[in-house]
């Protein structure tokens, strides 16, 4: 299908209105919620540093990956409020996009590690008992950071801006390099997302089968495993899967457009990609749910906060009801 036989793709409309309207509020929300939740979770973990378990090391690194990305969000908010004009220079644009990739694939990597260790502890407890220590999880975390860095490093060599003048700060690259970037994106999707996703899916699929077959399994263990499974399903279905699917489809659409080819699905894919960009940043606000899953101290603190809030609400309600009754009595007298 050529350019004359298909409807015009409204890239100008979606590029002008969709990101400024959708992305900045999402970034602001994620920045506030993510910074508070991750800061609280990391502080709680660091208070009990000597009691950190194997999985808590991965949770700690998960929080650090979130903080790394959250600190770049104010600059992206300014970028979209200025109608997609990047004023912070080419180098910092690349740093911002690099931090996003480190957060995205670091989060997936550490969630995969949590899933594998949870699988080993439930399905093969005798094999890992006494053989796996906190030191192992530290070295595995270092390895994850190295692998994610190697995956993300090529991205900074692609053009992200138009020189030193205020302009676009591409999350991918400009038109002239889009074919090469599509190949790189496919490779990164395979190694950084698809393979870890299959590992996580396999681990928790086997875990749930084992838990259902064992009648003697602790109910608390079953509940925790179900909660973590729900968190992982939420993260992958809302944040990771849509982003990777629509990012690669959008890059493919750009390649076809460059080759003077047009398809009716271009516009829908572009809009879906913009929305998925907002949804993928939610992982920094949703990842703290892993803290609540695996840390009893945080759950206890959260329970205390909820209880105090209820007490304050009850006092305010009682005070207001007392005032109303007094005023009504005065009016009657």
pLDDT value at residue 323: 47
Taking residues 254-278, report their average pLDDT.
87
Confidence band for 301, pLDDT divided at 50, 70 and 90:
low
More confident residue, 244 or 288: 244
Return the pLDDT at 330: 35
Which residue, among 179, 286, 274, 291, has the nearest Cα to 238 in the 3D structure? 286
Considering only residues 300 and 166, tell me which one the structure prediction assigns the higher pLDDT: 166
Domains of the chain: 8-306 (1.20.1070.10)
- Over residues 276-292, mean pLDDT: 87
* DSSP class of 306: H
Tell me the backbone φ, ψ of residue 251, rounded to 5 degrees.
-65, -40
Instruction: Judge whether residue 61 has pLDDT over 90.
Output: yes
Q: Is the model's pLDDT at 307 over the cut of 70?
A: no
Nearest to 8 by CA among 262, 269, 256: 262
pLDDT of residue 70: 94
148, HSE (Cβ side, Cα atoms, 13 Å): 25
Query: Alpha-carbon distance 144 to 160, whole Å?
Result: 26
Write the DSSP assignment of 13-25 as a string of letters: HHHHHHHHHHHHH
Residue of higher predicted confidence among 52 and 33: 33
Please determine, for residue 314, whether its predicted confidence score (pLDDT) is greater than 80.
no
What is the arithmetic mean of pLDDT over 178-204?
A: 94
Task: Quote the pLDDT of residue 187.
Answer: 95
279 touches 242 (CB < 8 A): yes
User: Which pair of structure tokens corresponds to residue 34?
Assistant: 């993510």
pLDDT of residue 103: 94
Tokens of 308: 């105090």
Do 181 and 168 meet the contact criterion of CB atoms below 8 Å apart? no
The predicted structure's pLDDT at residue 4: 45
241 compared with 20, residue with greater pLDDT: 241
Mean pLDDT value of segment 74-101: 90
Q: How confident is the model at residue 283 (pLDDT cuts 50, 70, 90)?
A: very high
The angle, 0 to 180 degrees and rounded to 10, between the axes of the packed helices 195-213 and 219-234 is 150
Which residues, in sequence order, are bridge partners of residue 248?
none
């Amino acid at each position: 299908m050529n350019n004359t036989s298909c409807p015009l793709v409204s890239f100008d409309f979606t590029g002008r209105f969709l990101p400024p309207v959708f992305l900045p509020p999402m970034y602001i929300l994620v920045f506030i919620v993510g910074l508070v939740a991750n800061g609280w979770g990391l502080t709680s973990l660091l208070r009990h540093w000597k009691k950190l378990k194997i999985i808590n090391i991965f949770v700690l690194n998960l929080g650090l990956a979130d903080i790394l990305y959250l600190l770049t969000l104010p600059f992206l908010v300014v970028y979209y409020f200025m109608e997609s004009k990047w004023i912070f220079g080419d180098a910092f644009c690349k740093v911002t996009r690099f931090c996003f990739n480190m957060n995205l694939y670091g989060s997936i990597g550490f969630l995969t590690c949590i899933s594998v260790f949870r699988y080993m502890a439930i399905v093969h407890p005798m094999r890992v008992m006494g053989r796996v220590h906190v030191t192992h999880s530290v070295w595995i975390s270092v390895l994850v950071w190295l692998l994610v860095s190697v995956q993300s490093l090529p991205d900074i060599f692609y053009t992200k801006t138009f020189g030193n003048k205020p302009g676009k700060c591409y999350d991918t690259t400009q038109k002239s390099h889009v074919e090469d970037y599509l190949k790189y994106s496919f490779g990164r999707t395979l190694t950084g997302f698809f393979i870890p996703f299959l590992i996580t899916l396999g681990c928790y699929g086997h875990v749930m089968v084992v838990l259902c077959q064992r009648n003697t399994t602790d109910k608390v263990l079953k509940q925790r495993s179900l909660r973590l499974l729900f968190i992982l399903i939420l993260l992958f279905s809302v944040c990771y899967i849509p982003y990777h699917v629509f990012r690669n489809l959008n890059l493919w659409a750009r390649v076809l457009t460059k080759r003077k080819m047009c398809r009716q699905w271009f516009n829908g894919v572009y809009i879906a990609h913009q929305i998925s960009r907002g949804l993928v940043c939610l992982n920094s606000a949703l990842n703290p749910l892993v803290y609540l899953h695996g840390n009893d101290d945080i759950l206890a603190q959260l329970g205390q906060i909820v209880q105090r809030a209820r007490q304050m609400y009850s006092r305010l309600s009682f005070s207001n009801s007392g005032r109303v009754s007094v005023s009504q009595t005065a009016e009657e007298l």
